[in-house]
Amino acid sequence: MKIEISEIFIDDNKLKKNIEIELKEPKKVVDILEELGVKNLGYADFYLNDKKVKKDTIAKNDDLLTVLPIIGGG
Amino acid sequence: MTYGYSGKILKVNLSTGEIKSENLPGEIMRKYMGGKGLVYYYLKDSINKDTDPYSEDNPLLFMTGVASGIPAAGTSRMIIGTKSPITGGFGISESGGFIAPELKKAGWDGIVVEGVSSKPIYLLIRDDKVEIKDASHLWGKGNGEVNDIIKEENDDKTLKLSQIGQAGENKVQYACVINDLKHACGRNGMGAVMGSKNLKAVAVKGTLGINFKDKDKITEISKWYAKHQKDQPLSKGLYMYGTAAGLLGIDKSGILPTRNFKQGSFEKAEDISGEKLAETVLIKREGCFACPVRCKRVVEIDNEKMKVDPKFGGPEYETIASMGSLCGIGDLEIISKAHEMCNDYGLDSISTGVSISFAMECYEKGLISKNDTEGIELNFGNEDALLNLIKKIAYKDGFGSILSQGVKKASEIFGKDSNDFAMHVKGQEIPMHDPRGKIGVGMGYSLSPTGADHVQAQHDTSLADEGPILDSVKVLGLTQPTDPMGYGKEKAYYYSTMEKWWSFLNMIGMCDFVPAPRGSMPIDKFIELINSATGWDVTPEECMEIGERGITAARKLNYELGVDEKTEELPKRFYQPLENGHLKGVSMDRDKFLDTKQEYYKMMGWDKEGYPTQETLEKLAL
């Protein structure tokens, strides 16, 4: 699956903005990202194929997952 | 000795030329703490229902707060207040920058400007030396040029300036006050009132400093914050991409105001995002006084087609969306130019963009034609029309004079069903957040004493789940997540809690982007900062009571001015479905929304008509 992560969640040089991984079986969005080492997910919103989803939504290998900052306002 | 404030207010009467210092009693400062609290204190006995906002009876107030000028992040806010020419009620507008700390360093907690000058003037404040200076040679000039001249003729490049441009001189209803060319007290028509007083600028130099109770503790907290603030992604995002860091998420969530709020998603959102701005026109990131967040953008364009001067900073999210997606425009160079023009003429970019967008929809619907627009083809996406109309609005020129009155009055002129999509509350144009995806923001638009406003309370989208943001505000009493699209008691409780907190921040002169929940400074540490500055023993409970007092005081005054709950109606469009995006087909439920407001009234101790009960007024010493 393809994953796009806003650079504000990237502290680690090992992480890149655009990632492609092989998902052997459907998995929760939050689990996928934690396994990749993405931190501070409490400040993120998640989008699967451009649709806003909850962090425990199940993602499949052909999905596009986007991680953007939560909408704070102000 | 006072700590964190001087206890002195500068009073200037422009009709008589009298300049005097007035004491601000300590008990009043503890009760109101500054900001809109002091605006209420100085307005309540000065104006009434019949006061013309442009008359000498309407004072113009420049207020700081007890946080303003503490050498720590977010302590930069200037709050300007008056009877608003837009709403006819309690008016305030705030901005960051440098002038509020400078005013406090000059020994003043605020300025009360009374009367009307018979000729253009500006105020020059150098500590306790205050002069009324002739500004005849500055009248008719833009903010950029006037800023240079005032600094040059006073031989001081370090002066901090609050100014009006041509829009304020011409009393464009939504003219703003610009601080140091980059920071706008944009809303509620402060610039128009300043223009009506023939007051072109207030220039300040402060060298006296501010007394603080525990400077070492302030330094310790300030250093801690500077080290840790970017650990929190939202704070880091503000640095990297400015306030437009959230634009792509807002678009994907289906609540990016597009084409006069008909749509919630813009096909060119990526082209106007904070990320794209950083890749293209951005030359520098800047911060306000003592602030390491550095959310301010500086852009420069210098090519054959376009020149944009970096001295005006750069567009923030509100300007990017109001001049961009709302008008169907997806070009950051055009948006940057529109931003520069608004800051130079002194126009509120939100109201300007909404007014032009409204006219674009009227044009496309055939309610107005080229005969009305002086030949301008006013379709969504017409970049030349946008820039052309900004100038016409500032000078009240031709068709621009209609739009200079805002969408409420323009819809009365255009007629037919245009009122249904004239996007305002109390006459103030709607900011760039669609309440169909966050009902709490709709509460803010409806309930704000100043008309539609997006900074009344932390937006509910960020408190939808358990997590660090919700954890950060449990100390204030909000312990459960709130469904952004939910209604009822739970929504009313979330809103009233967050509203009290942000009201408190306004009153002390603090930026919402530093303390939790929007910012990364924990609330207990933040309160420790305030107590270190003042020597007080403020608790979270007292903060919430102060915030509640500010909300209730403004409401009380508004009702006395005739601005009551009948003025709280949201535009009809929000009760109609969005045309595209993630929330396509979604609308607000009016009955549920009105019921939620009744729940809120009850929680605030107000009656069914939204007026504070006697018991509530006594509890808050109002």
Which residues does chain B have within 8 Å of residue A9's beta carbon, measured at their own beta carbons? 233
* Cβ contact B9:B21 at 8 Å: yes
Q: What is the pLDDT, as a whole number, of residue A11?
A: 81
Q: What is the pLDDT, as a whole number, of residue A15?
A: 85
Residue in chain A lying closest to B274 (CA): A6
Give pLDDT tens digits for B565-599: 999 999 999 999 999 999 999 999 999 999 999 99
Residue in chain A lying closest to B250 (CA): A71
Mutate to test the interface with A, among B234, B454, B580 (most CBs of A within 10 A): B234
**How far does the CA of residue A26 sit from the closest CA of chain B (Å)?**
23
* Cβ contact B434:B456 at 8 Å: no
Question: How far is Cα B502 from Cα B511, in angstroms, rounded to an integer?
Answer: 9
**How far does the CA of residue A43 sit from the closest CA of chain B (Å)?**
7
The chain-wide mean pLDDT, for chain B, equals: 98
Q: What is the pLDDT, as a whole number, of residue B243?
A: 97
Q: What is the DSSP string of A15-73?
A: --SEEE---SS-EEHHHHHHHHT---GGGEEEEETTEEE-TT-EE-TT-EEEEEE----
Q: What is the pLDDT, as a whole number, of residue B247?
A: 97
Q: What is the pLDDT, as a whole number, of residue B306?
A: 95
Mutate to test the interface with A, among B95, B250, B251, B252 (most CBs of A within 10 A): B252
**How far does the CA of residue B363 sit from the closest CA of chain A (Å)?**
31
Which residue from B253, B468, B513 is facing A52, i.e. has the nearest CB?
Answer: B253
Q: Is the confidence at residue B563, as pLDDT, over 90?
A: yes
Question: How far is Cα B75 from Cα B69, in angstroms, rounded to an integer?
Answer: 6
- How confident is residue B165, by pLDDT bands cut at 50, 70 and 90? very high
Q: Is the confidence at residue A36, as pLDDT, over 80?
A: yes
Give pLDDT tens digits for B94-150: 999 999 999 999 999 999 999 999 999 999 999 999 999 999 999 999 999 999 999
Domain ranges of chain A: 2-69
Cβ contacts of B375 within 8 Å, gap of 6 or more: none
The B-side interface with A (CB below 8 A) comprises 232-234, 236-237, 240-241, 243, 245-246, 248-250, 252-255, 275, 433, 438, 441, 454-455, 458-459, 461-462, 465, 467-469, 512-513, 517-518, 582
Q: Is the confidence at residue B457, as pLDDT, over 90?
A: yes
Q: Percentage of chain B with pLDDT > 70? A: 100
Q: What is the pLDDT, as a whole number, of residue B614?
A: 98
**How far does the CA of residue B262 sit from the closest CA of chain A (Å)?**
20
Task: Count Cα neighbours of B604 within 13 Å in the Cβ-side half-sphere.
Answer: 31
Structure tokens at B299: 């852009």
Confirm whether pTM is higher than 0.90: yes
Which residues does chain B have within 8 Å of residue A51's beta carbon, measured at their own beta carbons? 582
Burial readout B442-481 (b: 16 or more C-beta within 10 A, e: otherwise)? bbbbbbbbbbbbbbbbbbbbbbbeebebbebbebbebeeb
Compute and round to an integer the Cα radius of gyration of chain B.
Answer: 22
Q: Is the confidence at residue A12, as pLDDT, over 80?
A: no
> Helices B406-414 and B349-364, interaxial angle, to 10°?
20
* pLDDT mean over B458-474: 97
Q: Is the confidence at residue B357, as pLDDT, over 90?
A: yes
Task: Count Cα neighbours of A31 within 13 Å in the Cβ-side half-sphere.
Answer: 10
Question: How far is Cα B621 from Cα B42, in angstroms, rounded to an integer?
Answer: 16
What structural domains and CATH numbers belong to chain B? Answer: 8-205 (3.60.9.10), 233-415 (1.10.569.10), 439-619 (1.10.599.10)
Give pLDDT tens digits for B417-429: 999 999 999 999 9
* pLDDT mean over B236-263: 97
Which residue from A8, A44, A52 is facing B245, i.e. has the nearest CB?
Answer: A8
SS3 of B266-315: the string is CCCHHHHCHHHHHHCCEEEEECCCCCCCCCEEEECEECCCCEECHHHCCC
Are B462 and A42 in contact (CB < 8 Å)? no
- How confident is residue A72, by pLDDT bands cut at 50, 70 and 90? confident
Q: What is the pLDDT, as a whole number, of residue B230?
A: 87
Compute and round to an integer the Cα radius of gyration of chain A.
Answer: 12
Fold of A2-69: Ubiquitin-like (UB roll) (3.10.20)
Give pLDDT tens digits for B382-391: 999 999 999 9
Pairing of strands A64-69, B8-13: unpaired
Give pLDDT tens digits for B493-518: 999 999 999 999 999 999 999 999 99
Q: What is the dihedral of CA B365, B367, B369, B371, to 10 degrees?
A: 180
Question: How far is Cα A33 from Cα B285, in angstroms, rounded to an integer?
Answer: 30
Question: How far is Cα B335 from Cα B79, in angstroms, rounded to an integer?
Answer: 27
* Cβ contact B472:B517 at 8 Å: yes
The ipTM assigned to this model is 0.95
Q: Is the confidence at residue B542, as pLDDT, over 90?
A: yes
Q: What is the pLDDT, as a whole number, of residue B269?
A: 98
Give pLDDT tens digits for B19-53: 999 999 999 999 999 999 999 999 999 999 999 99
**How far does the CA of residue A42 sit from the closest CA of chain B (Å)?**
5
* CA angle (B281 as vertex; B276, B283 as ends), nearest 5: 115
Cβ contacts of B535 within 8 Å, gap of 6 or more: B3, B4, B213, B214
